[in-house]
Amino acid sequence: MSKIIVLMGAPGAGKGTQARLLKEHLDTTQISTGDILRGRAQEQDALADEIRAVQASGKLASDDLVMRVVEERTAREDSANGYVLDGFPRTMAQAKMLEKLAAEQGHKIVAIVIDVPFELLEKRATGRLSCPVCGEIYNIRTKPPKNDKRCDFHPDVELVQRVDDSAEKVKIRLETYSEQTKPLIDYYDSAGRLHRIDGTKKREEIHKEIEGIIR
């Protein structure tokens, strides 16, 4: 039986990196709901009109709308042997809809959460600095600039902390993630489908673990 992988992890936990490694090494089909909604909105039909209307209103896409887009996307040939979902499901209603879809498609759902303590995520995120000229990103702890707070490529330019990364904003982002995701994690856990991965390990090790779960 092929698998649907639900990949979860807090902002900064390395979900994006792991998704990329999976694509490179396993050639998995990856489905990011954000990307497909944006792409789908460019087309010319009733569904695209509906997505554009939601986007214009600034509201979040409804569970039903997201589900229809996922259903359409995963009906393609490249998803026949399973796929990796990123950013979906976000709600319990979506999780229930995904159960139905998985049964129809003959796939088994496996949820993977990359666990990193929030304290560490806060440290990681708030240590980020970027060059306002070239956009190069540094990290005080993991990738410091050669000269104190100055870009390696632009020694005259002082690095700035990304506005988005201020401690307060990072906290809010993590709390929002936690509130949204906790019910889903509990759900997959009680269904015996949850794999927790220690996200403080090296990214290659994390990748190997995920690979092991998928195969």
Range 6-45, binding Zn ion (CB under 5 A):
none
131 belongs to the binding site for Zn ion (CB under 5 A): yes
Which segment (10-18, 87-95, 126-134, 200-208) binds Zn ion by CB under 5 A?
A: 126-134
**Nearer Cβ to Zn ion (120/134):** 134
**Nearer Cβ to Zn ion (34/153):** 153
Q: Minimal distance in Å, beta carbon 130 to Zn ion? A: 8
Sign for the CA dihedral angle at 150, 152, 156, 162 comes to negative
**Nearer Cβ to Zn ion (135/192):** 135
- Count of residues binding Zn ion (CB under 5 A)? 7
Range 151-210, binding Zn ion (CB under 5 A):
151, 153-154
Question: In Å, how far are 94, 152, 167, 178 from 158, measured between CA atoms?
Answer: 45, 10, 20, 34
CA atoms within 13 A on the CB side of 43: 11
Peptide bond before residue 183 is cis, with ω within 30 degrees of 0:
no
Distance CA 128, CA 124 (A): 7
Point out the residues that are catalytic.
15, 90, 128, 162, 173
